[in-house]
Structure 1
């Protein structure tokens, strides 16, 4: 096995990590659509911003998988960071840390209202924060693995 074949085999770990990040983004998209379209939960402004950051990942990540292109991390990272920041802000709004005067959605569908909860503390903003955190972590690991394998 020559050096180029070894790099291809080792970079399959990076491919797997990117694939799992795509699975998470796709699952998050489908779950958000399920809650809004099937269950008919109202969507607040912060949820829309999180969706704006999440939905393009469903298209961008598989385009980088076939053929494998690690540079996609450079393009999707701003979306993941933006989605994480909005989700973190949303968690703080729901927790009551952000005062009502600073909340972006006081009319219509309030962002501080919990529409769905599992176990009493896992709500939609927490699930979004966890999803963006996990996607960001997988992107970091993929880039790190690829860098270690090629140098």
Structure 2
């Protein structure tokens, strides 16, 4: 029982850090988000609210919503990361409007980009959602 609450708290924390990180990059560092970044934000931001409500109401069913959003987020982040790191993918896709989706504002250690950070958060949330059990289990 207490383990499920811990997993929910960790999911909330990961989603909160990811949300604050994305806001840091856009509002403090003034990196303009591309279209794919916006899609990832659209999927990550609600997870923070969903997990907070789940923690307050002690509703473990929020894992289903977080799993769905993070699962889709994994696919979006993977495709965005592929656009950035695999040349023929980035060259073959239509251009994003405004900022290029292949732009890499950060490139730490040659592989850590903003979509990679989002992918990491989505994967962590997705995996942790499987550790939350219903009260009767």
Please report the TM-score for the alignment, with normalisation by the length of structure 2: 0.91
Equivalent of 1:94 in 62, 66, 84: 84
Deviates more, 1:39-48 or 1:93-102: 93-102
What CA distance in whole angstroms lies between the structure 1 residues aligned with 2:30 and 2:79?
24
Whose Rg is larger? Answer: 1
Helix, strand or coil at the partner of 1:88: helix
Other-structure match for 1:7: none
Structure 1 contact 46–111 (Cα < 8 Å) conserved: yes
Structure 1 contact 24–135 (Cα < 8 Å) conserved: yes
Summarize deviations over 1:51-78 as a string: whole Å, max 9, x none: 0000011111011112211111122222
- Is the aligned partner of 1:44 residue 2:30? no
Structure 2 contact 64–129 (Cα < 8 Å) conserved: no
Deviates more, 1:27-36 or 1:119-128: 119-128
TM-superposed CA distance for 1:80, in Å, is: 0.9
Hey, which bits of structure 1, 4+ residues long, moved more than 4 A? none
- Is the aligned partner of 1:138 residue 2:128? yes
Structure 2: runs of 5+ lacking an equivalent:
none
What CA distance in whole angstroms lies between the structure 2 residues aligned with 1:121 and 1:27?
20
Equivalent of 2:15 in 1, 20, 25: 25
Structure 2 contact 66–126 (Cα < 8 Å) conserved: no
Give the alignment's Cα RMSD to 1 decimal: 1.6
Q: How many residues align?
A: 136
Summarize deviations over 1:31-66 as a string: whole Å, max 9, x none: 000000010011100000000000011111011112
Deviates more, 1:80-89 or 1:43-52: 80-89
